[in-house]
Amino acid sequence: MHNDNKMGSSKATTKPNNDLCNATAGEEAADCRSPLPAAQGQLLNTDKGTQSSNTVPSTSIDSYNTKILRTGIDSLYLSYQGDLIEETAIRLTELKKMAQSPDPRITALAQIDINNHIFEVKDRGRHPFAFILNDNWYRIEIAKLGAVRTPLAHVQVMSELLTEHGVEKSVSDLNNIVNDLGILSESPAVSRLDLCVDFITDYPLADIVDGDWVTRAKDMDRYTVQRTFSGWVIGIGGNIVARLYNKTLEMQKKPRYYLETIHRECGWDGNSGVWRLEFQFRRVALRELGIKSFSSLKESLAGLWQYASTDWLRLTIPSKTDKTQSRWPTACVWEVLQQAEWSGDEQVSRVPVEKGRPPSDRSLFVNGISGLTSFMAREGYSDPIEGIHSYIRSAKKYHDDREYMTDFDFHGYIAQKVALKVKSYNTYLNMPEDKNLHPSEKAVADEYRKQSDGE
C-alpha cells in the first residue's frame, strides 16, 4: 500500500490559489470545483488506448523527449460479499487467540493453509474486520461470523504480484482462496485502484510550480529529498489522488529488483531517472465513474486514465494574457502521458512470485552478520571459522545458563525463534511440539462435539 511520504522527507503544502481552482467566473469555475462530471458512461466506453501492448515509442514534442516504459495496476483492493463458513470462523478465532499468546511456541502456530497459501494469522483485526491473513501475495481482512453490514472479505492484492502475474491471474487465484473462506453472494467489487505509468523524460519536472496545475483537487504537496525535488501529491485525502514522483529515488530506499528488470525490458537504459505518474481511485470515485465490479474494470482502464489525466488533472503552460484555464496549452510531457496505452496486462516476461516473505540475501548476510562480527571484534577473532565456532559455543552457554529464567535452553531458544520467523515468512506450517492435533483443529472438533451433544 502506498503512503503519502513515499516521495521524500520534506514537503511544501500549497493551498490552491484562485486562478488554480476557480478559473474564471461562471461555467468554467463551476467545472473546476465540481467533484466529478455527471455523465461518465461515454468516458469509460472510449476505445482509445486498448491496444494489446503497454509500451509506446519515444515521443518528441517541442524540444523535450518523453518515453513511456510501462503502464500497470500498482494497487488493487477488492471487496467480497458473502457469509463466513462456521468451521472457518471457529478455526480463525482460535488462531487469533494463539497469535495473542505470550508463549512464542503457541504464537508460532498461528498459521492457516488455504489453497496452497500459508497465511500468517495476525493477533488483531482492523475494524470492522475481525481477522487478518497475510502473505506475499495478499492481505485479507475477514469479517466475523454473522456480520451483516460488513463484506465477507476485503483484500489488498500486492503490487509485485500484479506486476509480475497480471491482474487476471492474480484475482483468479484470490477468488479460489475467498471461496474456501465462505459462501459468496456476488462477484468482487473494486474498492480501490491505483493506475501507474512509468516513464523517462528530459522535461524539467523540477521547475513545475503549483500554478502550472489545472485540477479539481483542493490541495497539493510538493516533496523534496535533501533539497532535491522528488515529486508531487495532488488531492491528498480525496476520492482521487495523483502522485508524480521520482521512482528511481524511491527505489534507492526500497529496492524493487523485479521492477528494474521490467524497466530494462521496456527500454530503460539503466541510467536515466525513471518517473511515475500514478492515479489512485477510491470507492466513491470508482462508483461515480461507473466501476462497480472487477468484471467491468479491464475494459475501463483507458477511460479512467483519460478522465484522470485530462479532466481531473492537467499540467499546463499558463498564459499571461488568457485567464481561462481550459484554453491553456497542455505541457508536452503531459500530452505523452495522456496517450498511455492500456490493455489491462503488461506485455513483459512473467516470472514466479514467492508466496512467502523471506528476507533478502542482503538482509541476511550484510545486516544479519552484525552480531557475529561484533562478537569477533570483542573477543579478538579475525578468522571467521574460529569466530563462528566460538560464537556458537558462547551463545549455547549463555542460553543454557538462563534456562531457569526463560524456560529455553540454547536449542529451545533457537527452535522457537525459527518457528516465529517461519510464521512471519510464510515458509511452511509449524506443528505442535507434542505432535498432537493442532489447537485450531481441536477447537473445531470440540465445537462439533458440543453441538452434537446439544450443549
SS3 for 187-246 is CCEEEEEEEEEEEEECCCHHHCCHHHEEECCCCEEEEEECCEEEEEEECCCCCEEEEEEE
- pLDDT under 50 in the chain at which residues? 1-6, 8-10, 12-61
Asked if residue 245 belongs to a domain, the reply is: yes
Residues 6+ apart with CB under 8 A from 54: 70, 71, 72, 341, 342, 343, 345, 346, 347
323 and 229 in one domain? yes
Those residues with Cβ within 8 angstroms of residue 455's Cβ, 6 or more apart along the chain or in another chain: none
Whether 72 and 200 map to the same domain: the answer is yes
Domain interval for residue 254: 10-77+190-338
Specify the DSSP element, H or E, that contains 261: helix 257-265
Q: What is the pLDDT of residue 48?
A: 38
pTM: 0.84
- Indicate the residue among 185, 217, 241 that finishes a domain: 185
Are 214 and 242 in contact, with CB atoms under 8 Å apart? Answer: no
344 lies in some domain: no
Number of domains observed in the structure of the chain: 3
Is residue 384 in some structural domain? yes
Same domain assignment for residues 86 and 72: no
What's residue 397's pLDDT?
97
Q: Has residue 345 been placed in a domain? A: no
Same domain, 71 and 200: yes
Same domain, 279 and 327: yes
Q: What angle do CA 138, 144, 146 make, to 5 degrees?
A: 130
Question: Same structural domain for residues 174 and 321?
Answer: no
Q: Looking at the domain assignment, is residue 122 inside a domain?
A: yes
Residues 168 and 137 in one domain: yes
How much is the pLDDT for 344? 58
Summarised one tens digit per residue, pLDDT across range 218-268 is 999 999 998 999 999 999 999 999 999 999 999 998 889 899 999 999 999
Q: What pLDDT shows up at residue 347?
A: 52
- One domain, residues 165 and 294: no
Residue entry with cell 512467502: 356
Domain annotation covers residue 354 = no
Cα 374 from chain centre: 36
Burial 170-185 (b: 16+ CB within 10 A, else e): bbebbbebbeebbebe
- 181 shares its domain with 200: no
401 and 375 housed in the same domain:
yes
Pair (224, 302) in one structural domain: yes
In a domain, 433, yes or no: yes
Kindly state whether residue 323 falls inside one of the protein's structural domains.
yes
pLDDT at residue 309, rounded to an integer: 98
Residue with cell 578468522: 383
Same-domain status, 66 and 198 = yes
